[in-house]
Amino acid sequence: MAGLGGRMSTVIKAKINRMLDKAEDPSETLEYSYAKQMELLQNVKKGVADVVTAKKRLQLQQQKLEQQVVKLDTQARQALAAGREDLARTALERKQFAQTELQSLDQQVAELEAQQQQLIDKEQKLRSKLEQFRTKKEVIKAQYSAAEAQVKISEAATGVGEEMADVGLAMQRAIDKTEGMRARANAMDELEAAGAFDDNLSLTQGQDDIDRQLSQLTSSTAVDDDLEKLRRELGQGAGTTAPALEEGTPTQQPQEGQR
């Protein structure tokens, strides 16, 4: 149906009606509705569980990214303190990227939360409509002639059926969305496992380059410190190490050592 002539609402209504699968006999409709309802409610429960799982997974990724942001921030500080502005810039660029990713994750988590709430609401509404239907049916039977009652019950059944079809549709959409996000989460996990996630974040080369360069800086400082310590322990050149700590006049140190 190339609906160019049709209306959006007409197409949707036709489809919903097709999902309804109306039964002829109202009492059968009720039985049918009941079986269908149980099945649907089970599905909705499972759907909600799926949404929660997907949400937890995204939240885990959020945590990882948050750690990444903290780490990159620390790296940037370290690099800048070591006078490596270029490294600091790279780290900050990556931090920016990670933050953008985080925002998109926030949005997805919020979307899943809305989806979860919607399903719970829909389930509640369907339960209550079905309850109403059961009560109403008896009232109608008592108030109207058999023929009239049949029509009225049938109408009410249609209303309930439409609600069921709508819950079914809400379920379907929740599943589709969750699957889309799950696929994305899977892809992110795989990338991360393959070490490509960090590359992705880095925008330039491998993630470890900042680490490597920073650790080179730190380790050369650490080696210097260790050397000093050793010298001190060995009582070697008391003047060589001590000044920085004891005399607080490092400028004198090389002079003393030279003497």
Q: Which residues bind another protein (CB under 8 A)?
A: 1-4, 6-13, 15-16, 18-19, 118, 122, 125, 128-129, 132-133, 136, 155-160, 162-163, 166, 169-170, 172-173
**Least Cβ distance, residue 162 to another protein (angstroms):** 6
d(CA 102, CA 110): 12
**Least Cβ distance, residue 159 to another protein (angstroms):** 3
d(CA 16, CA 12): 6
CB of 24 closer than 8 Å to CB of 158: no
**Least Cβ distance, residue 57 to another protein (angstroms):** 21
Residue 68, SS3 per DSSP: helix
Nearer to another protein, 135 or 218 (CB): 135
Nearer to another protein, 43 or 99 (CB): 43
**Least Cβ distance, residue 83 to another protein (angstroms):** 50
Burial class, 248, CB count within 10 angstroms (exposed 0-12 / middle 13-18 / buried 19+): exposed
Instruction: Determine if residue 205 is left, alpha or beta; phi over 0 gives left, psi from -120 to 50 gives alpha, anything else beta.
Output: beta
Nearer to another protein, 15 or 77 (CB): 15
Nearer to another protein, 84 or 152 (CB): 152
Nearer to another protein, 94 or 122 (CB): 122
d(CA 70, CA 91): 11
d(CA 64, CA 192): 11
d(CA 92, CA 181): 28
**Least Cβ distance, residue 186 to another protein (angstroms):** 22
